[in-house]
Amino acid sequence: MEVSTTWEEKRIAVSINVKPGLSPEFAVVVRETLLYWASRELETTKKVISAIPDVKADYRPDPHARTAWELAWHLASMDIHFLDGIADFKLDVDVPDEKNKPKTVAELVDWYDKNFKRATDKIRALTPEQLVTPIDFLGAFKLPAVAYLAFFNNHRVHHRGQLTTYLRPMGSKCPSIYGGSFDEPWQAAAVTTTSRS
């Protein structure tokens, strides 16, 4: 007995089986867009890290949690590690080399800023074809190189959110992130009007 298939069922079947690839040209647009937003996120993340008081960097909200310093180092160092890994086509979760690990919050912010710019320059140097090159990540994912920029942005935002919950208990203030906070209220831009003659 033959099963009748409607036009809509055929359209759905075709759409499920069609897997358009990411073109190298579009990957360049994706890279530039994601790096633009990553640089904006960097500035916000540096504000959050800067809010850690050095004298309370060993604050830990729970015995099973990382200290504020451990969390800040993880956030900054893994961000750079992941960006370098994308550029080198080798992703892992190995702990970055700590031989040049900063000693203070200010040093960490400076280290993060310099290395972020260095690592994103490596990403910008990738060719369009390299951006669509699949990279294996722990056998769990095999995505085009450029896709990991979004993936690791989630890692950054996740740990930055964790870190913000540490700030007030440490006696610090929570900076504005995506809008105002109690400690740093949002300020609307001044609107200027001009009179028309």
Q: Are strands 134-137 and 141-144 parallel, antiparallel or unpaired?
A: antiparallel
Q: What is the domain count for the chain?
A: 1
Q: Is 195 contained in some domain?
A: no
For residue 75, CA distances in Å to 9, 70, 72, 88, 109 come to: 47, 9, 5, 20, 11
- Asked if residue 158 is part of any domain, the answer here is yes
Domain that holds residue 157: 35-170
| Residue 12 covered by a domain | no
User: Considering the domain boundaries, does residue 61 fall inside one?
Assistant: yes
What tens-digit pLDDT sequence spans the chain (197 residues)? 454 556 555 555 444 444 457 899 999 999 999 999 999 999 999 999 999 999 999 999 999 999 999 999 999 999 999 999 999 999 988 877 777 899 999 999 999 999 999 999 999 999 999 999 999 999 888 999 999 999 899 999 999 999 999 999 999 999 998 888 988 888 877 776 665 55
pLDDT at site 121: 97
- Give the per-residue pLDDT at 6: 61
* Three-state secondary structure call for residue 44: helix
Q: What is the pTM of this model?
A: 0.82
Q: Is residue 193 part of a domain?
A: no
- Give a yes or no: residue 76 inside a domain: yes
Amino acid at residue number 80 = I
Give the CATH number of the domain where residue 132 resides: 1.20.120.450
pLDDT of residue 21: 77
Element (H, E) at 192: none
Residue 18 inside a domain? The answer is: no
